[in-house]
């Protein structure tokens, strides 16, 4: 397969006289708009060659080249204060398709939900949800009510039966970090496979004149790095940057960008670009591995941390009536996209309960700016009550309110009396984007105010909190290892472990009552329909893991 080969700050309050307000646009549109959501995996805020912030030169890479994303940014609106819902992939992906925070979903980290506390850990992690629930209504299911057909290509990583169980008519199955994610050239990271399947889907919907929602969840630029030899050779010859210098990672980033360009080219050739909204962002911050040469980036932290480097994301929205080459500096988050897409599609009164996001249409269409934009919840909430691979990945919560940000580290000072004694840090992001000056001591009143507000928010959405570990041993030596990945029946310990983990009466099988996953998944595994799951059934159950050929379910009927 051969792939196709100084800004000033502008306000979010754009010249409304040159645009149609969103309500007027909705009333006058003769065609429902299409949506293409391009999601990068582990792309840092400055992981592209467009400036994510108009006043910060280091908000773009000094080595990577993404000309197609540059062009998309020049044609649409960039959000300099955009955030992924979580510092890890699985919770962010669940949040993006539901409009709810991972804290509310109780889906706050990848991997298995039942993790025993280790003796060197001061806290017990909550038993989080590891199977995307069929009770949650996704953006694809909501858009079906307006006659949309939805497709999901690439990384799912949510279990729960895969995209086909949640409103996506065409999909790759319940994929995770394996399979096509490890594809080599000429289709590294399945970049061009995803692009080809997406193009075929768009061609089919355009021919049928059917509106669509296309979710492209790329495996790039997650490790392990893969790229075309020609791209690698190009960056091996290129002068390395001060903070980005890895030729292989740069080549993978370029190949990802080439895939973006092929999608945009397909939209133009099909004649549907003029009524299609294109959204680009990352699922979390950059991992740092293979991206830096020792000099810190403008942001602190990275993937798995609630510091800015773990959650701030590049973000572009381009489409009808959005002013070209515009910037918005309002605080926005990934779960805002659900209500935004719904409003653009003409759905405003039928949103599911519990939506935390706010439609961004006032910002997109020049009806509000940072100072006047009214969110449903003014706070942006982040919740990671877990341990991860390194010392920065410890149980923590964060909240952003205006220019201020608070981070609570639950483990710090936990003595066995109360988790309320955790360490608090606050930062003024407008003056300190690198989070170098903790203001909690110099501004104790502000620290108490922000902490109380964050606690109230987490309580309101029934977020799960870590608890004191009564068996904590301060003399125990920590053993840092990557938590076992889990996708479908592919637990590192095998199906026998999965059966044992749920077999509460130790009879060697799992009943429907004992099963902790979604009911649809139970029915899929129970091949002899006896109401019990055996190790043999679990071993042979279909998962869709690693599937690269798109599966098409029965399409919904056209709206009358």
Same domain for 198 and 146: yes
Q: Which pLDDT value is given to residue 493?
A: 41
Residue 296 pLDDT class (50, 70, 90 cuts)? low
**Structural domain includes residue 460:** yes
**Structural domain includes residue 40:** yes
CB 196 within 8 A of CB 264: no
Residues 432 and 404: their CA atoms lie apart, in Å, by: 10
CB 7 within 8 A of CB 51: yes
Q: What is the dihedral of CA 3, 283, 335, 213, to 10 degrees?
A: 20
- The sign of the torsion formed by the CA atoms of 104, 107, 109, 115 equals positive
Strand pairing report for 77-79 and 315-318: antiparallel
Q: In this predicted model, which residue has the larger pLDDT, 141 or 532?
A: 141
Q: Which pLDDT value is given to residue 351?
A: 87
**Structural domain includes residue 556:** no
Same domain for 432 and 331: no
Work out the percent of the chain whose per-residue pLDDT is above 90. Answer: 69
Q: Which of 468, 485, 511 is the last residue of a domain?
A: 468
Q: Which pLDDT value is given to residue 187?
A: 97
Same domain for 213 and 124: yes
Q: Which of 343, 373, 403 is the last residue of a domain?
A: 373
Strand pairing report for 332-333 and 380-384: unpaired
CATH number at 356 reads: 3.40.720.10
Nearest alpha-carbon partner for 261 in 274, 278, 246, 284: 278
Same domain for 283 and 403: no
CATH number at 425 reads: 3.30.1120.10
Same domain for 366 and 283: yes
Place of tokens 């057909």: 149
| Range 2-20 average pLDDT | 35
Residues 469 and 125: their CA atoms lie apart, in Å, by: 9
* Half-sphere exposure of residue 328: CA atoms within 13 angstroms, side-chain side: 36
**Structural domain includes residue 490:** no
Q: Which pLDDT value is given to residue 526?
A: 75
CB 229 within 8 A of CB 276: no
Same domain for 87 and 117: yes
Structure tokens at 401: 């309110």
Mean pLDDT of the chain: 85
Same domain for 386 and 346: no
Residue 7 pLDDT > 50, yes or no? Answer: no
**Structural domain includes residue 550:** no
Q: Which pLDDT value is given to residue 512?
A: 74
Q: How many independent structural domains does the chain possess?
A: 3
Same domain for 508 and 530: yes
| pTM for the predicted model, two decimal places | 0.82
3-state secondary structure of 213: strand
3-state secondary structure of 437: coil
Nearest alpha-carbon partner for 455 in 419, 411, 428: 419
Q: Which pLDDT value is given to residue 509?
A: 78
Residues 441 and 494: their CA atoms lie apart, in Å, by: 49
Q: How many CB atoms lie within 10 A of CB 396?
A: 26
Residues 450 and 384: their CA atoms lie apart, in Å, by: 18
Residues 538 and 524: their CA atoms lie apart, in Å, by: 10
**Structural domain includes residue 10:** no
Q: Which of 373, 407, 440 is the last residue of a domain?
A: 373
Same domain for 428 and 366: no
* pLDDT, tens only, 302-353: 999 999 999 999 999 999 999 999 999 999 999 999 999 999 999 977 789 9
Provide the 8-state DSSP code for 164. Answer: G
Same domain for 349 and 458: no
Can you say whether residue 470 is alpha, beta or left, with left for phi > 0 and alpha for psi between -120 and 50 degrees? alpha
* pLDDT, tens only, 92-144: 999 999 999 999 999 999 987 777 888 989 999 999 999 999 999 999 999 99
Same domain for 390 and 363: no
Same domain for 184 and 125: yes
Q: Which pLDDT value is given to residue 496?
A: 54
* pLDDT, tens only, 398-420: 999 999 999 999 987 444 333 44
- The sign of the torsion formed by the CA atoms of 329, 332, 336, 337 equals positive
DSSP 263-319: HHHHHHHTT-GGGEEEEEEESS----TTT-SSS--SS---TT-SSHHHHB--EEEE-
**Structural domain includes residue 100:** yes
Nearest alpha-carbon partner for 280 in 525, 15, 535, 73: 73
* pLDDT, tens only, 413-444: 444 333 444 689 999 999 999 999 999 999 99
CATH number at 510 reads: 1.10.238
Residues 129 and 158: their CA atoms lie apart, in Å, by: 10
Q: Which pLDDT value is given to residue 39?
A: 98
| Range 450-465 average pLDDT | 97
Q: Which pLDDT value is given to residue 6?
A: 34
| Range 192-196 average pLDDT | 98
**Structural domain includes residue 477:** no
3-state secondary structure 351-407: CCCCCCCCCCHHHHCCCCCCCCCCCCCCCEEEEECCCCCCCCCCCEEEEEECCEEEE
Q: Quote the domain boundaries for residue 503.
A: 495-540
The region of weakest confidence among 171-180, 233-242, 254-263, 506-515 is: 506-515
The Cα-based distances of 56 to 9, 70, 137, 236, 280 in angstroms read 10, 16, 38, 27, 20
Residues 462 and 289: their CA atoms lie apart, in Å, by: 34
Residues 77 and 48: their CA atoms lie apart, in Å, by: 15
Strand pairing report for 170-171 and 551-552: antiparallel
């Amino acid at each position: 397969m051969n792939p196709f080969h100084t800004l000033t700050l502008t306000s979010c309050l754009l010249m409304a006289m040159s645009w149609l307000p969103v309500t007027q646009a909705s009333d006058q549109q003769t065609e429902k708009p299409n949506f293409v959501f391009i999601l990068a995996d582990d792309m840092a805020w400055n992981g592209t060659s467009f400036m994510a912030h108009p006043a910060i030169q280091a908000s773009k890479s000094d080595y990577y080249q993404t000309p197609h994303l540059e062009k998309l940014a020049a044609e649409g609106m960039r959000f300099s204060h955009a955030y992924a819902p979580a510092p890890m992939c699985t919770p962010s992906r669940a949040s993006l398709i539901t409009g709810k925070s991972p804290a509310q979903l109780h889906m706050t980290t990848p991997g298995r939900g039942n993790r025993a506390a280790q003796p060197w850990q001061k806290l017990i992690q909550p038993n989080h949800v590891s199977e995307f629930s069929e009770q949650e209504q996704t953006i694809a299911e909501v858009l079906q009510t307006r006659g949309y057909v939805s497709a999901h290509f690439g990384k799912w990583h949510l279990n729960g039966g895969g995209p086909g169980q949640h409103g996506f008519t065409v999909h790759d199955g319940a994929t995770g970090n394996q399979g096509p994610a490890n594809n080599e050239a000429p289709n590294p990271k399945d970049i061009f496979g995803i692009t080809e399947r997406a193009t075929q889907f768009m061609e089919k919907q355009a021919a049928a004149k059917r509106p669509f929602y296309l979710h492209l969840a790329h495996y790039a630029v997650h490790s392990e790095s893969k790229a075309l030899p020609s791209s690698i050779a190009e960056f091996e010859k290129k002068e390395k940057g001060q903070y980005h210098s890895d030729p292989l990672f740069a080549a993978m980033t370029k190949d990802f960008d080439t895939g973006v360009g092929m999608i945009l080219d397909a939209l133009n050739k099909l004649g549907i670009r003029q009524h299609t909204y294109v959204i680009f962002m990352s699922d979390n911050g950059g991992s740092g591995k293979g991206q830096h040469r020792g000099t810190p980036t403008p942001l602190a932290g990275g993937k798995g941390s609630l510091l800015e480097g773990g959650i701030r994301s590049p973000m572009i929205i381009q489409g009808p009536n959005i002013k070209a080459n515009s910037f918005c500096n309002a605080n926005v988050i990934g779960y805002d996209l659900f209500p935004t897409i719904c409003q653009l599609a003409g759905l405003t009164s039928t949103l599911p309960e519990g939506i935390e996001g706010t439609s961004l249409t006032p910002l997109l269409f020049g009806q509000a700016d940072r100072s006047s934009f009214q969110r449903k919840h003014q706070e942006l909430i982040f919740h990671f009550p877990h341990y991860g691979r390194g010392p920065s990945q410890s149980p923590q919560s964060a909240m952003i309110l205006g220019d201020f940000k608070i981070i609570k580290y639950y483990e710090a000072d936990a003595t066995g009396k109360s988790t309320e004694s955790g360490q608090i840090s606050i930062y003024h992001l407008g003056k300190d984007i690198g989070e170098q000056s903790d203001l909690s001591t110099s501004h104790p009143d502000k620290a108490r105010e922000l902490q109380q507000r964050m606690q109230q928010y987490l309580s309101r959405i029934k977020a799960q909190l870590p608890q004191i570990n009564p068996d904590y041993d301060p003399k125990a030596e920590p053993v840092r290892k990557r938590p076992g990945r889990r996708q479908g029946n592919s637990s590192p310990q095998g199906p026998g472990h999965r059966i044992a983990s749920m077999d509460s009466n130790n009879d060697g099988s799992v009943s429907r009552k004992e099963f902790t996953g979604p009911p649809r998944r139970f029915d899929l595994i129970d091949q002899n329909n006896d109401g019990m799951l055996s190790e043999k059934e679990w071993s042979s159950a279909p998962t869709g893991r690693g599937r690269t050929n798109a599966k098409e379910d029965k399409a919904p009927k056209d709206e009358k």
